[in-house]
Amino acid sequence: MKRFSKSARVFYRANKGLIISSIVVLILAGSVGLWYYQRTAPARERARIVRQQEMVAGIIAKGNIDQCAEARGIMIEGVDYETVCKNNIHIDRAYQNNDISACEKLDNNLIQVDLCKQRVIVQAIMSGTNKDICEANLSDPLKSLCQETYWTEQAVARDDIALCNQLPESHQNARCNDNVLIEELVFKKKPTSCDAFSKSLQSGCELFKKNVSHAPTNSTDCSISTSRVFESLCVNREYIHNATLAP
């Protein structure tokens, strides 16, 4: 074994306390550093995730589908952010352009294709698109929804309940009738017979009329009916009514 020189041994004996204390300080410093690094790891991980999410959001905002490749390999909580990037760009194109074909490019996992198509159908018809959109590549349920939405909005816009007869199914016809009647009663303030509504809505109609008579200034507030079935249809009609009239 190699022995230290005499001068080294002398130096060690003379400075033994200082050397040991220095070693202890270094060990403590290392321990504190390791503790701090471990303690701040979650914050650093959150910061890293935020940076990745902001990067993907920037790509989505630009709308360049090819740039989504920059998100390849980014997984956050088990979600592939390259797919998130592509889905968001496709769905933005679908909603902005009433483009059903853009919905078909979704992964149908993180975002369902049929839900995208459903929104585009309703949005397109509300914006004045004719029923040709119902001839797009749609499943039978979506085609049925499209036809019902089209004739319901036509009947409401023209205030012509007879147009509901264009719908082949009795339940579609009944929903169409109820939408026209809700529009007349709540928004157009027409004297509407509650007996004309579907049976499940008649009591809600009566409650609405009763409450309106006590608080006429709130006559367009769907919640004053206190009937959940009536209120649900009323709120849906209110949303469509306001969206249609929005500038």
- DSSP calls for 122-146: HHHHHTT--GGGGGSS--HHHHHHH
pLDDT in tens, 20-55: 555 554 555 555 555 554 565 677 678 777 888 888
* Residue 126 burial (CB count, 10 A): 17
Residue in the block written with tokens 């190699």: 2
At residue 69 the predicted structure's pLDDT band, cuts being 50, 70 and 90, is very high
Q: How many CB atoms lie within 10 A of CB 101?
A: 14
pLDDT, mean over the chain: 80
Q: What is the pTM of this model?
A: 0.66
- Kind plus residue range of the DSSP H or E element containing 101: helix 100-103
Name the band, by pLDDT with cuts 50, 70 and 90, for residue 160.
very high
Longest dimension (CA), the chain: 114
What are the structural domain ranges in the chain?
Answer: 52-111
- pLDDT confidence of residue 21: 57
